[in-house]
Amino acid sequence: MTKKFLTEHNISFAEKNITETPEYIDYLKNKGFRSVPVLEDGYQPIINGFRPDLLKKLIAQ
């Protein structure tokens, strides 16, 4: 749902699929995350999970 939202609102993103790159799981765990998706701005996490309320704020930026 997050990917669909970003695509529909023309918000560019780089996807790191944990199925295709399982080493990324350790990266997320080390940052304290236990679920996906995780959206980052650079290396700063900004959203975890499907959060339409927070995603809508990205449109306003």
Of all residues in the chain, what percent carry a pLDDT higher than 90? 70
Q: Which residues contact 39 (CB under 8 A, 6 or more apart)?
A: 2, 13, 45, 46, 47, 48
Q: What is the per-residue pLDDT for 59?
A: 82
Task: For residue 54, report the phi and psi dihedrals to the nearest 5 degrees.
Answer: -80, -35
Tokens of 47: 């959203």
pLDDT-derived band at 24 (thresholds 50, 70, 90) equals very high
Taking the model in full, what pTM does it have? 0.77
Ordered structural domains, the chain, with CATH: 2-60 (3.40.30.10)
